[in-house]
Each structure stands twice: as C-alpha cells, then as structure tokens.
Amino acid sequence: MRRIEKYNVAVIGDENLAVGFRLAGVKKVYEIPKNADERRLAREYLKEILEDPKIGIIIVHEKFSKHVEDIVLEYKGKNIPIVVYVPGIEGPAHPDVKEYYKQYVKKVIGFAVEF
C-alpha cells in the first residue's frame, strides 16, 4: 500500500488574509505589509516556500499573482506544491471568476477542465 504524505499549507497575503489564515491555524503565513515592495517580497516569499518540501499548498492573494506568475508556471506539471490564488476582502479582481479559474487551470495543467 502506498504511503500517504502529509503536507502543510503556506500563505502569502496582505494583513487581512494573513490574519484570517493565522486564525485558521496556518503556521507558515507570509504577510506583505502596506506600502512594501510587493513584487520583491512576493517573489522572495514564494521562492522560500518552494524550497520547503513539506509544503503542499501555497495560497497567494490574487493581487500578488502578477508578481509571481512566472515562478508558478515554472512548476507547471509538477504535482506538489499546488498554488492557489484567492481574493481578499475587497472581492475578486476578475469579473468572471469561473472563467478566470477555468483558464488558470488550463494554463497550469495544460488542458481544459469543465466545472
């Protein structure tokens, strides 16, 4: 029988997202403060998280996605970790969220999935 691995979650977010996930029990939370260099910090944090073999899911605030998209696409086709972009309290950045995630999944795994 194949052994089931246990992976952890890491989060890259603004203050609101960070607080929410800390309250939910996530231990690896990387907060990007207001007025910080978002691009530099998001990339730095993601690279650090990707070095940790115990991380299976990386949750990134969608407003930082444009800063890390190229790094995420380098991992296209690998099973672990999975990177998920989530909206913050201001709501989704994309008017048609379903279509956005449909296209995102296609880009990451290489084929379309209907849901």
CATH label of the domain that carries residue 74: 3.40.50.10580
The radius of gyration of the chain's CA atoms, rounded to the nearest angstrom, is: 14
Q: How far apart are CA 16 and CA 89, in angstroms?
A: 7
In a domain, 81, yes or no: yes
In a domain, 1, yes or no: no
Among 40-49, 70-79, 104-113, whose mean pLDDT is lowest?
104-113
Q: What domain range includes position 95?
A: 8-109
Computed over every residue of the chain, the mean pLDDT equals: 85
How many structural domains compose the chain? Answer: 1
pLDDT at 54: 94
Question: pLDDT tens, 72-96?
Answer: 888 776 767 888 888 877 766 667 7
In a domain, 66, yes or no: yes
What is the pTM for the complete model shown?
A: 0.79
In a domain, 93, yes or no: yes
